[in-house]
Structure 1
Amino acid sequence: MKFLIVFVALFALAVAAPAQDQDAQVLRQDQDVGIDNFKYSLELNNGNQQEAEGNLKQIGEEQAIVVKGSFAWVDTEGKVHSITYIADENGYQPQGEDIPVA
């Protein structure tokens, strides 16, 4: 479960870093971190956005964090891509038009 938390955090950082626009400006950034939960959001002027919310959940005899969130970016042709996800005891589960379905 610790791997999942680290993976989601690193993934969020990778999405937040603008690939083509190194001069992106932060338009909005909110964060609220508690003992057993967190919530944050970020919006850049280049169209990149992300938000996530996590809460502790009792799973059997262990506690784990469940994270729900989304991120979006604008490609070089101006098309907006967005992904929503949940990361819980069942793993990372993204959904979006850009994810191939088996």
Structure 2
Amino acid sequence: MVSLVILFALFGCTLGQYKPNVASSPEAAARILSQSQDGPNPDGSYAWSYETDNGISARENGVPKAADTLAAQGEFKFTALDGTPIQLIYVADENGFQPQGAHLPTPPPIPDAILKSLEYNAQHPEEDDSQNPGLRSG
């Protein structure tokens, strides 16, 4: 029985030293070049930022707008695996998270016929109710 325990202990020690041959990514060894943090302050405002030696950087600042609403704005930058530089600028407030960046998908353009129809409807609101009496509110 003792020899079985010793055998399992040796096996466990050997297994614990096993390290698979996995290449580490540059992000795994990134060093912080600069970092700052201010707050949270008594008025609820804050600010933070950092930058690493592999080109990643981020910053954000925020202030309370109401008892239950915080307005924050910031940005982050990095290089994607395919070499594309990514920069995202954002605002987050009572209107939600509003990101902007060249890499973000955009909706397709609205077809001309639909645009003309929307413009016509905006210029002739009285015709909307007369054509569909069942849709009237009241």
Shift of residue 79 of structure 1?
2.9
Greater Cα radius of gyration, structure 1 or 2: 2
In 1, Cα distance between the equivalents of 2:98 and 2:65? 17
Structure 1 unmatched runs, 5+: 1-18
Aligned pairs (5 A) from 1:3-14: none
Aligned length in residues:
81
**Higher strand proportion:** 1
TM-score normalized with structure 2 length: 0.55
**Higher helix proportion:** 2
Match of 1:23 among 20, 29, 32: 29
CA RMSD, aligned part only? 1.5
**Secondary structure of the structure 2 residue equivalent to 1:21:** helix
In 1, Cα distance between the equivalents of 2:33 and 2:58? 12
1:47 is aligned to 55
In 2, Cα distance between the equivalents of 1:72 and 1:99? 13
Structure 2 unmatched runs, 5+: 1-24, 108-138
Does residue 1:70 correspond to 2:75, yes or no? Answer: yes
1:91 is aligned to 96
2:38 is aligned to 32
Over 3 Å off, 4+ runs = none
What's the % identity of the aligned pairs?
31
TM-score normalized with structure 1 length: 0.73
